[in-house]
Structure 1
């Protein structure tokens, strides 16, 4: 009985296959090469083996359809060819100016990629990934682009279609429009200069530090339009705050003050750790466990969340780990030209964290490799700024190829790290009064900005922006009638925070280009809590209203006055005269000391207080001499015989006079 072949979709399995030659399969088989089989037979054999494995494991045979394969490259080429042919026909039709019904039919003709042969049959179900919509839309956009431009070559039409497909905008936005300064918000820290600013990486919180020892924390999500900080504290007692920075994860903040010990606080301002102070009587700074002089600056490592760096007036940079604040991790000693120590005034890590850089008081910029020991510098430039002036800030660009340095020699310099001998440009006449005046790059490295302090003939402090390619002055923002010290351009929020010398913080943002941050606060209105006076008509029962503690309420005022009259406190009755001493007071008759002493001696006879006390005592002088009662009887047995001076001898005897036998 002939069995029917099993078929599932296009795959069919014929059970009654013709038997192969017995000679080829008997014994050990045949020697030599295996005859080459056709590709279809090999695929069928592979499918049969796969079905057998599936049938053995799962008990299912021949399930599903074989997915169709599409060659996308061939489809793209075919689409380009058809598009070019259609555009040629359109151009010819426009040049000949043939307006007829045929032209209308041509407009309604199909323009687009050819339909694959597998999709022409509607009855056949499509299995597998469909043609991407971007390809279809890109081809249609390319053909519509060619309709508008009638006198272009084929290469130009292909370029236009590519531009439409990528959606790239060739319109360059001017550098001045990139600065988010359409709106501004003012926050008040205090009355002293704000010399430290820090924004966490997510842009949710802002921390400000001032010369008045205070650190204020601002939460943009929790503030309203009144822009008040939710916490203000003095973490370093009576030391001015010099630098603040959030860690890479934003869970802790580094506080650098005028003290020799840096502190790390958590997001809410509670102290996490305090670095140890070194021994100031040891000359070798590598032998001490911490700084011995006031700090200048500090920063976190960009990738290692437990590591941070501080620099101090003791001439060292120290790397710390939050796990071990009792001892530094390593010490770096910058040196002058002659080998003497110099004080680092600013320090920072590179964007990748592989380089440690510092600006020193001798005007030099020195760099070390973070992956090696810090004995020798990898990059050293002696005359970067004027000697004996502070380099207030060092900042790496986001790409890591440029470096900006701000000094108190009234200059801002831009350097190329690949050729670090001469600056790319020097921006002069930038007066700086504070040691914390900083600089920075825009998120796309196209601009460099810094603040300017007020001089005598100036009225408004400015934030200046320069082009990093042409080195031209782009624009300046008039911040306030005070010095501009700190400025941060947050890349995620696209907002600029500026700390001023009058204790205010300005936040600049763009309504369209900026995100979150201060935009969350200005929407919320500040509501004052209305104090409503509640007057209760019913009696309020208190613990003192219980019968045990309750005072009797007199109905009439006469009885109340009579009761108060009997109370000596309420009636303010004067003290009554006393007959005997009590409570430290003496009676009127015994007001003198002599009468008090005589009375307390317990004498039998009462002494009249009006007589002279001296005479009263001298009455008993002769009796006391003959019959002593108080002192003499106690020493009667041991009392020595008194020896008195003779009346004939006048004057004291000479102690140096030699004794004569």
Structure 2
């Protein structure tokens, strides 16, 4: 058996014995975003109910923590500082970007923006936050001064944004199935990569910097070499548009989810399925833990029982 096959079989075996799910409810309505902090001790979730909940991971326990209030509209996406485990930022429909500090237990800065914000990214060097709004305007905020440094409008639908791990390229996915690659910090257009035949929805860079991936309305995940900017393979097991993707801490696994009633977990090197998580409703946010094989996710509300299912956050991967 080759090393790749052995690794694949080892991972399949691991998840056969680590498939327990822990669950917490901290929100009154749909969860839009989940994200782990840098050291993996805390998980944050942002919700349509205008709040952020921060949970603690204590050994094999998933503990409800603090609720952060201040936004006056839905919290659509959040992200943590790449190296400071105490700070996270939120993008909201109330036309603000907020930075929060969990040690202080409060919001430490508010930046007013021009539109309803729907996506957010924190640069690897920690100096800049980029936020996109519904009018396809990307605003770059200097986190040292909390002032807007530049606003960059785009003439196409911008779905998600991300820096590469070396902080010198900035990526946007668009409604035409492409990725636009900009030099950073100049923001000069470098190239356009055709990734999918349909709307390119989400983008994620792996923690080690070897890979990045995109998810599309064509129900496929495309896996890319981050250095060569070349597509390596496609993962095509889902049937609905891929809304969210996440790499494990070692980039051996990639999780993808959609309106399908499964979350697909694939072996990055080959695209083969390692396991899947059966869910009861559409899944629009997933996030691997930065150090362990623990996957956080949140599902949409069930039509049959919206109140009971609203606001639940789950973690998969605990030992049976």
TM-score class, shorter-chain normalisation, is 0.7 to 0.9
In the other structure, the counterpart of 1:358 is 172
Equivalent residues of 2:76, 2:119 under 8 A apart: yes
1:183 aligns with 2:20: yes
1:384 is the counterpart of 2:195: yes
Shift of residue 213, structure 1, vs aligned partner: 1.8
Structure holding more helix per residue:
1
The CA distance in 1 between the partners of 2:244 and 2:233, in whole Å, is 19
Q: Match for residue 254 of structure 1?
A: 89
Trace 1:174-253 onto structure 2 (pairs within 5 A). Answer: 174-179=10-15, 181-221=18-58, 229-237=64-72, 239-247=73-81, 248-253=83-88
Number of equivalenced pairs: 303
Question: Against the structure 1 CA distance between its residues 234 and 361, is the aligned structure 2 distance closer, same or farther, given a 3 Å change threshold?
Answer: farther
The CA deviation string for residues 94-129 of structure 1, in whole angstroms up to 9 with x for no partner, is xxxxxxxxxxxxxxxxxxxxxxxxxxxxxxxxxxxx
**Which of the residues 408, 411, 415 maps onto 2:217?**
408
Secondary structure of 1:367's counterpart equals strand
Which of these two proteins has the greater Rg computed from alpha carbons? 1
Name whichever structure is richer in strand by fraction: 2
Residue 191 of structure 1, CA deviation: 4.6
Task: State yes or no: 1:498 paired with 2:311.
Answer: no
Partner of 2:158: 344
Distance in 2 separating the partners of 1:488 and 1:443: 10
| 1:471 corresponds to which of 271, 274, 293 | 271
Alignment partners' CA distance in 1, 2:295 and 2:98: 26
- Cα deviation, residue 423, structure 1: 5.7
Q: 1:181 to 1:257 in 2, by over 3 A?
A: farther
Q: Give the TM-score normalised by structure 1.
A: 0.42
Partner of 2:256: 450
How far, CA to CA, are the matches of 1:273 and 1:494 in structure 2? 33
Closer/same/farther in 2, CA of residues 218 and 471 from structure 1, 3 Å limit: closer
TM-score, normalised via structure 2 length = 0.83
Deviation, 1:394, is 0.5
Query: CA 1:474 to 1:171, structure 2 compared with 1: closer, same or farther past 3 Å?
Result: closer
Structure 1: tracts of 5 or more residues without a match = 1-169, 278-291, 335-340, 455-460, 513-661
Alignment correspondent of 1:487: 286
Change (3 A) 1:411 1:231: same
8 Å contact from structure 2 (residues 222, 231) kept in 1? no
The separation in 2 between residues aligned to 1:202 and 1:423, in whole angstroms, is: 30
Cα drift, residue 438 of structure 1: 1.3
Among residues 89, 101, 125, which one is paired with 1:266 in the alignment?
101
Structure 2 gaps, min length 5: 301-308
Q: Which of the pair has the greater relative contact order for Cα pairs under 8 Å at 6+ separation? A: 2
Does the 8 Å CA contact 1:210/1:241 hold for their aligned counterparts? Answer: yes
CA contact (8 A) 2:238 2:258 kept: no
CA RMSD of aligned residues (A): 2.8
Q: What displacement does 1:313 show? A: 2.3
CA contact (8 A) 2:40 2:290 kept: no
CA distance in 2, matches of 1:422, 1:272: 40
Match of 1:374 among 165, 177, 187: 187
What CA distance in whole angstroms lies between the structure 2 residues aligned with 1:452 and 1:207? 21
